[in-house]
């Protein structure tokens, strides 16, 4: 079992408290300093008068994108440090219950969401071209692509290792079951998007989408006994999104191919992924990897494995 992999390391509750403090400091303090420094240097004395939205637009789009993602890269380094040295757990055991990381699963998860995003965007572009502007500029886009290919997987990996790895295993061990970590990590994951500009634009109803996405990634992890599918899916979703479409009201405004200029409304666009698209993704994964025993894998108990007794010990 994936959650039981935590028992290969040290699982005392206080280690998770200290670990979360270290991870938070790495992510939100040390990781964010370069971005804050760059904004202050660029804005000068006027920085104190800027609104939150203006802070996000001080820097060149690509530089802003890189520095924002850099904080996640620092957070990932802090998280892996905590796993290895505070919990004495291997990175492989924090990733999967398999003998080694299955990169085929990673690329499967990446591919299904990437293909879906590209196809649905092309359909929407052809049906409602007035909702889009052609935003492609060769040099800025190539710079964006270089940044995104390196930094976006680091950003999404940080979020996956934090929620579907570190917290999923830690809460699962402390709670003794699988459903409590699934619920808690999904709700926290969604809640961290509360301050995204999309929430201000669309309202709190979009939190259904964010929390629902957390449940989708958590179910993938528990059913597949590893994070490979979730790692790939999250990376594919964010990478293709950053390169393909941007908008003035999204968390990351990029030099993407298209710019969405429509007036977004909270409605079917939020509910359809949760009630139709996400179940289809899970169905495809379940058929591909032959998932069974859903009740046990999502709601079963988590027990400390019995130590192996060798003949000379009996």
Q: For residue 22, count CB atoms less than 10 angstroms from its CB and return exposed for 0-12, middle for 13-18, buried for 19 or more.
A: middle
Segment holding 41, helix H or strand E: helix 33-43
Q: Tell which residue, 233, 256, 266, has the closest CA to residue 116.
A: 233
Question: Structural domain boundaries of the chain?
Answer: 3-305
The string of pLDDT tens digits covering residues 214-235 is: 999 999 999 999 999 999 999 9
Q: Which residues pair with 226 in a beta bridge?
A: 96
The pair of three-digit structure tokens given for residue 10, joined into one six-digit string: 């040290």
* Predicted confidence (pLDDT) at residue 196 exceeds the cutoff of 90: no
pLDDT confidence tier of residue 253, bands split at 50, 70 and 90: confident
How wide is the angle at C-alpha 174 spanned by C-alphas 21 and 218, nearest 5°? 80
Least confident of 13-17, 40-44, 288-292, 296-300: 40-44
pLDDT confidence tier of residue 310, bands split at 50, 70 and 90: very low
The Cα 46–Cα 43 span in angstroms is 6
* Predicted confidence (pLDDT) at residue 45 exceeds the cutoff of 90: no
């Amino acid at each position: 079992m994936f959650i039981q992999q935590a028992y290969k390391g040290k699982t005392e509750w206080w280690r998770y408290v200290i670990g979360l403090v270290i991870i938070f400091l790495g992510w939100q303090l040390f990781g964010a300093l370069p971005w804050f420094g760059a904004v202050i240097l660029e804005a000068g004395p006027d920085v104190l008068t800027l609104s939150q939205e203006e802070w996000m637009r001080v820097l060149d789009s690509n530089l802003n994108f890189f520095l924002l993602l850099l904080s996640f890269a620092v957070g990932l380094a802090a998280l892996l440090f905590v796993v290895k040295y505070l919990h004495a757990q291997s990175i492989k055991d924090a990733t999967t219950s398999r003998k080694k990381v299955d990169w085929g699963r990673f690329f499967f998860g990446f591919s299904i969401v990437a293909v879906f995003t590209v196809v649905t965007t092309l359909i929407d572009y052809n049906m409602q071209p007035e909702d889009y502007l052609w935003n492609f500029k060769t040099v800025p886009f190539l710079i964006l692509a270089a940044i995104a290919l390196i930094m976006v997987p680091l950003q999404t990996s940080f979020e996956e290792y934090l929620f579907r790895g570190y917290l999923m295993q830690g809460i699962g061990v402390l709670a003794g079951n699988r459903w409590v970590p699934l619920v808690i990590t999904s709700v926290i994951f969604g809640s961290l998007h509360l301050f995204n500009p999309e929430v201000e634009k669309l309202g709190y109803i979009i939190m259904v989408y964010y929390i629902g996405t957390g449940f989708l990634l958590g179910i993938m992890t528990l059913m597949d006994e590893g994070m490979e599918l979730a790692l790939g899916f999250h990376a594919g979703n964010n990478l293709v999104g950053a390169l393909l479409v941007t908008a003035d009201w999204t968390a990351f405004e990029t030099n993407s191919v298209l710019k969405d200029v429509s007036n977004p409304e909270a409605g079917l666009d939020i509910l359809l992924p949760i009630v139709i698209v996400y179940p289809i993704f899970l169905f495809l994964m379940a058929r591909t990897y032959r998932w069974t025993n859903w009740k046990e894998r999502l709601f079963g108990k988590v027990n400390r494995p019995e130590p192996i007794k060798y003949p000379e010990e009996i």
